[in-house]
Amino acid sequence: MANRPFGHDTDSGLWVAAGAAAVSEVLADPACRVRPRSEPVPSGILGTPAGDVFGELVRMTDGAPQVRLKQVLLAALNTISEKQVVALAAEQARKAADWTDLQFGVPARVVATVLGLGGDIPAEAARLIGEFVRCVPASATAEDQAAAATAAARLLDLLGPCLRAGSSGLIGELVRLAARNGLPTTAPLPANVIGLLSQTYDATAGLVGNTLLALARHGKPDDLAGFVDEVVRHDAPIQNTRRYVVTATTVAGHEVPAGSTILLLLAAANRDPMANPDPHAFLPGRADPQVFTFGRGTHRCPGHVLAAAITIGVAAAVTGAPSHEGYRPSPNARIPVLKGQFG
Ligand code: HEM
């Protein structure tokens, strides 16, 4: 990365941004979009409920509708009490069945509860979201896409009736704020509620796992929040993202033609010595850390405070110190497979 912050990789055909400056430049460039112009929705799920959801997600769209909807999501997420999320995550962690349930099930159930979903819905939504996220990576197979379509249909049935102005929790805030901000339609809300759950899923499982491993290595600190922040930088649960070049552009002095795909190595940018001195050292409480794990610019993650609060709650409740058996196969997430006495 230090030798080649931006360049073309002939084997994969991708442009690769690894340096902090190059990653920042691409994420701020309006020529670089989140989907290829020719395929706004992956062809394998087009016309299915998973495709309908995908096509409405703020994460997967650019332009004015994305910006307006993002404002509503951010305003709604800002109403959440971090303290309550920490307490809820700790309570859920104490009831978790095993390490896998702790990593995946607990964050999904916490977010479902914060959304205001009650009864058995958080548990069912947590299960279904695991199926839905299978359609998201560029490497999704036909089988993944079919499973995601079935899950999306069930999630829309489950969540649709909850989206009312009088609803409690984050869903109620979303409906109220959409009206107050003059959103022309509330049609994208169900898809984006599914989006909040799906964006939580792998990423927070990775952060929980990487934090528990770091705690086993370094011991429990006084400042858990500062510790989690450094895990986010040092052992990024989301390692990369992509951008699709819609009009020819220039990045780090290289001419990048329209139609190119850029792989952005967020985890490498976190370790760029130009951004963070002594970047490979694990130093909780760093002064002014430059962190790329949650992205930058228009599509920056609106869930970072929520993800950190869930992880702090889980880490505070867990007494065991797991080790791990490698990582789950994933094109972009770093999720350790935890092992050892659960508790
Ligand atoms: C450790 C956990 C998490 C990590 C590392 C993470 C990382 C990211 C990254 C890198 C992006 C931007 C992708 C891009 O620009 O290509 C993103 C977007 C997003 N994340 Fe997160 N995320 C996490 C947790 C969450 C949670 C808990 C939520 C919500 C409850 C959430 C909601 C979203 C949404 C809605 C977007 C799309 C924003 C947009 O496109 O404008 N994320 N996340």
The per-residue DSSP string of 239-278 comes to -EEEEEESS-EEETTEEE-TT-EEEEEHHHHHT-TTTSSS
Pocket of ligand 1 (CB under 6 A): 34, 58-59, 70, 73, 111, 195-196, 199-200, 203-204, 207, 237-238, 241, 293-295, 299, 301-303, 306-307
State the closest ligand 1 atom to the C-alpha of 192, by its place in the atom list counted from 1. 35
Q: How far is the CA of 253 from the centre of ligand 1 (A)?
A: 29
CA distance 227 to 230: 5
**Ligand 1 pocket: which of 74, 136, 199, 299 to mutate (most atoms <8 Å of CB)?**
199
Q: How far is the CA of 293 from the centre of ligand 1 (A)?
A: 9
Report helix, strand or coil for 314. helix
Same domain, 208 and 112: yes
Same domain, 67 and 206: yes
Same domain, 2 and 110: no
Domain total for the chain?
Answer: 2
Q: What is the pTM of this model?
A: 0.96
CATH number at residue 11: 3.30.43.20
State the closest ligand 1 atom to the C-alpha of 59, by its place in the atom list counted from 1. 40
Q: How far is the CA of 329 from the centre of ligand 1 (A)?
A: 20
Write phi, then psi, for 334 (nearest 5 degrees).
-110, 95
Same domain, 247 and 105: no
235 token code pair: 């052992």
Is 35 within the bounds of a domain?
no
Same domain, 279 and 164: no
Residue identifier of the C-alpha nearest atom 19 of ligand 1? 301
Is 36 within the bounds of a domain?
no
Q: How far is the CA of 33 from the centre of ligand 1 (A)?
A: 16
Closest to 306 in 3D by CA, of 110, 69, 72, 103 = 110
Q: How far is the CA of 204 from the centre of ligand 1 (A)?
A: 10
Same domain, 129 and 103: yes
Domain end point (choices 257, 274, 292): 292
CA distance 34 to 24: 15
Same domain, 277 and 307: no
Burial class (CB in 10 A: 0-12, 13-18, 19+), 217: exposed
User: Residue 93 sits in which domain range?
Assistant: 41-220+228-233+300-339
Residue identifier of the C-alpha nearest atom 17 of ligand 1? 301
Q: How far is the CA of 341 from the centre of ligand 1 (A)?
A: 31
Same domain, 25 and 141: no
Same domain, 280 and 175: no
Same domain, 316 and 284: no
Q: How far is the CA of 287 from the centre of ligand 1 (A)?
A: 24
Is 10 within the bounds of a domain?
yes
Same domain, 146 and 50: yes
Q: How far is the CA of 135 from the centre of ligand 1 (A)?
A: 16
CA distance 290 to 270: 7
Closest to 6 in 3D by CA, of 236, 300, 250, 241 = 250
Q: How far is the CA of 300 from the centre of ligand 1 (A)?
A: 7
CATH number at residue 177: 1.10.630.10
Is 72 within the bounds of a domain?
yes
Is 48 within the bounds of a domain?
yes
Per-residue model confidence as pLDDT tens for the chain (343 residues): 557 899 999 999 999 999 999 999 999 999 999 999 999 999 989 999 999 999 999 999 999 989 999 999 999 999 999 999 999 999 999 999 999 999 999 999 999 999 999 888 888 998 999 999 988 887 889 999 999 999 999 999 998 888 887 888 999 999 999 999 888 788 899 999 999 999 999 999 999 999 999 999 999 999 999 999 999 999 999 999 999 999 999 999 999 999 999 999 999 999 999 999 999 999 999 999 999 999 999 999 999 999 999 999 999 999 989 999 999 999 999 999 999 999 7
**Ligand 1 pocket: which of 266, 301, 306 to mutate (most atoms <8 Å of CB)?**
301
Q: Per-residue b/e over 323-337, b at no fewer than 16 CB within 10 Å?
A: ebeeebebebbbbbe
Is 168 within the bounds of a domain?
yes
Residue identifier of the C-alpha nearest atom 42 of ligand 1? 303
Same domain, 188 and 83: yes
